[in-house]
Amino acid sequence: MKPISLSGKQRRNFLKTAGMLGASMVVSPRFAFAGPPKSDRKLRMAVVGGRFGASFFFHEHPNCVVEAVSDLRKDRREKLMEVYNCTKSYESLEQLIKDPKVEAVFVATPVPDHAEHVLACLNAGKHVLCAVPAAMSLEDCERLRNAVNKTGLTYMMAETSAYHQVVISARKYYNEGKFGNIFRVEADYHHPGLEVLFYEEGKPTWRHGMAPMMYPTHCTAYHISVTGERFTDVSCLGWGDDSEALKGNPYNNPFWNETALFKTNKGNASRMSVCWRGALMGTERGEWHGDRMSLYARDPHGLDEVKINASEELGRDDAGFLFKRAEKEDYQQQDWWDSDALPKLMRHNSGHDGSHTFITHEFVDSVINERQPLVNIHEALAYTAPGIVAHQSALRGGENMKIPTFDI
């Protein structure tokens, strides 16, 4: 895919807040916390989608006010108005984006609508925060990138895993060089029993039969948000059965579970697993394996986070062979939400391991201070596109496939 050209102003604004990975890869300032607000300006926000959209904290941010809300259902509109202390609602996104007072929109609508809803907001001159994933096709990935670059507006994807407390710690350790070289990352997103969400009030929902790897970002964020690498190749396998629940789904997806092995632009490995069915514990977790240090996120079996340091001390295994003993370090995960990384009113736990307050603050602060957010359009597509290609690989029996990038 060919990169598009930016105007001089767009390029200056982008490069002012972005770093470079390798010779040509633009990445966001993933290691900087925004800190306390430095402005009195109020961003006039709108929230669209009354389920996921009601679980954020725009009403607590000192630089934000919720101007309007929208959902197709009246009960959900009323819920949004209650949560955000808002008196204005619209029955549709199309009506809402005509409101000249609305500066930015949180798109928390069903996944198949994300790309079109984001494009509508951008074309109406609104900054956008969007739920995951960014898109469901490579063509829509390109359309989104082009629209963000053309308009110069802020786009951020609300990926919760990027702000899990242990992931914030992993970014800090990576920036400090503690890992040494990270040669492998593993991540699991297991949501067994997802089929209970396939229908609502007797009608199929957008989740009915969605391919696991089409919802990849809870895994891919564990690698990309820490190292900034890009996935370049993938081989993926899927597992399904003859369950009636999968039949007739609009995605023609035959799989309950998919597991992918990705190669990065640095030649490193990443194993990602997204599963909807099986004898599994529900989890979103990851591991970072480095030549100097490794970090293991808390797992659903009750094990807390573990940090392992490389050692020169020799030992013998139960067969008598020599090996280097790794050192297990006592590790207490810091609650980053209880720090000056957030405004005072937002220093509390929140949904998805404390991530919702961080996402709220990161988006508002990036718009107010005219900087790139952590998960900007390029990062969002780097999280999203690998899953789209991985599913195609699974449909082809694990064929190794190339992954396009959407960086400048």
The length of the chain is 408
Q: Which residue has the higher pLDDT, 225 or 300?
A: 225
The per-residue pLDDT for 169 is 97
Question: For residue 200, is pLDDT > 50?
Answer: yes
The per-residue pLDDT for range 61-86, each reduced to its tens digit, is 999 999 999 999 999 999 999 999 99
Q: Which helix (H) or strand (E) holds 220?
A: helix 217-227
**177 Cβ partners below 8 Å, 6+ apart?**
none
Quick one: CA torsion of 102, 108, 112, 114, rounded to 10 degrees? Answer: 40
* Closest of 353, 369, 386, 394 to residue 34, by C-alpha: 369
Share of residues in the chain with pLDDT > 70 (%): 91
Question: Domains in the chain, ordered, with CATH?
Answer: 8-160+341-376 (3.40.50.720), 162-337+387-402 (3.30.360.10)
The whole model's pTM is what? Answer: 0.90
Spatial neighbors of 100 by CB under 8 A, at least 6 apart, are none
Tell me the pLDDT tens digit for each residue of 10-44: 433 433 333 333 322 333 333 344 455 678 899 99
Please, what is the average pLDDT of the chain?
91
**Measured distance CA(22)–CA(50) in Å, rounded:** 41
pLDDT reading at 207 higher than 90: yes
370-400 tens-digit pLDDT: 999 999 999 999 999 999 999 999 999 999 9
Res 116 pLDDT > 70: yes
Q: How many CB atoms lie within 10 A of CB 186?
A: 19
Among left, alpha and beta (phi > 0; psi -120 to 50; other), residue 371 is beta
Query: Which structure tokens are listed for 231?
Result: 């996935």
The confidence score (pLDDT) of residue 323 equals 87
**To the nearest whole percent, how much of the chain has pLDDT over 90?**
82
Average pLDDT over residues 328-356: 93
pLDDT at 296 over 90: yes
Helix 351-368 vs helix 165-175: angle between axes, to the nearest 10 degrees?
60
Listed in sequence order, the residues at least 6 apart from 49 whose beta carbon sits closer than 8 Å to its beta carbon are 70, 71, 76, 106, 107, 108, 109, 131
152-176 confidence digits (pLDDT tens):
999 999 999 999 999 999 999 999 9
